[in-house]
Structure 1
């Protein structure tokens, strides 16, 4: 009778897990490859007017970015398979022995999701102000006297630049009729 401890690691998948663990950077390669294929597929299936004014059309930048993602994925995979390893982050303000701060990550995710849900009914100026203020709060700022004012100012400036100067229409919401 054979027990689990009598089976060699090759039969239990232990060597495979070890190989995957040693080459975990290949996950980034797969992500870059998928993103590159998505960008290229989107770019090449874009429906654009044939009448363009110059040699560079609306497909050019997405095609270059998608091709660049594919090249980077291939080069990174080649490096990893040849034994290259990513450098561990040694930032002066990062303690790698500490676990991730999931509270902050979840707060930021909630703020972004809230802004995405609120942008249509209340408009970009209000949703943007909540986004900026919520992000500052999630990242540790507790200055309730200045943070809302800075957030409102940033949001209004961003709205004005995109909506009025760049011609990118953003939802103004009910407050824009008053202002």
Structure 2
């Protein structure tokens, strides 16, 4: 038989489950900050902002949000349940779509070093379109290839962010 004092802390934590999100935000913030502080200072710097600035800002903001959310939860604040504008909350999750999207992403991650971004990106874009229900078997791969090549050219040639080109590197 349990007493009220034993059930009290359990109920207190259950009613404040958002504190788990706060803990996750603190862990992520500390992880980002420790990784940011390990970035070498001799890293090539372009402009007045170094490579540590954005990760330190993001890590610090994660910690600030965690503290503000914890304060709100401890003062009695609660998140509203999802109303779902166009989502029927009684329907189960569409795991087929989720798994197809994960497969497209994992294929991209596995192939990017082998065949380069233009080809692996096209597979990712086409796979995402297919997973989300598009069945235009001629149009979708063409759009995916064009979008992937455009993304590669913009990042690689215009922004100076090198992406693996694979066999198409000779073309661009």
Structure 1 and Structure 2 fold alike (TM over 0.5): yes
Gaps of 5+ in 1: 1-6
The aligned counterpart of 1:168 is 161
The aligned counterpart of 1:99 is 92
Counterpart selection for 1:109 from 102, 115, 123: 102
CA RMSD, aligned part only? 2.3
Q: How does 1:35-74 map to 2 (within 5 A)?
A: 35-49=28-42, 56-74=49-67
The aligned counterpart of 1:4 is none
Whole-angstrom distance in 2 between the partners of 1:125 and 1:52: 28
Note the C-alpha offset of 1:53. 7.5
The answer to whether structure 1 residue 144 and structure 2 residue 137 are counterparts is: yes
Whole-angstrom distance in 1 between the partners of 2:47 and 2:169: 37
The 3 A distance-change label for structure 1 pair 146 and 50 is: closer
Cα distance per residue 1:24-43 (max 9 Å; x no partner): 21221111111110111111
Residue 69 of structure 1 aligns to a residue in which SS?
helix
Residue 76 of structure 2 aligns to a residue in which SS?
coil
Q: Indicate if the aligned counterparts of 1:10 and 1:16 stay in contact, CA closer than 8 A.
A: no
Counterpart selection for 2:76 from 67, 77, 83: 83
Whole-angstrom distance in 1 between the partners of 2:46 and 2:103: 43
The 3 A distance-change label for structure 1 pair 55 and 101 is: same
Q: Indicate if the aligned counterparts of 2:43 and 2:51 stay in contact, CA closer than 8 A.
A: no
| Moved beyond 4 Å, runs of 4+ | 13-17, 50-55
Give the TM-score of the pair, scaled to structure 2: 0.88
Give the TM-score of the pair, scaled to structure 1: 0.85
The aligned counterpart of 1:8 is 2
Q: Indicate if the aligned counterparts of 2:22 and 2:70 stay in contact, CA closer than 8 A.
A: yes
The 3 A distance-change label for structure 1 pair 56 and 84 is: same
Whole-angstrom distance in 1 between the partners of 2:88 and 2:107: 30
Aligned length: 172
Residue 161 of structure 2 aligns to a residue in which SS?
coil
Query: Which is worse superposed, 72-81 or 86-95?
Result: 86-95
Whole-angstrom distance in 1 between the partners of 2:134 and 2:47: 48
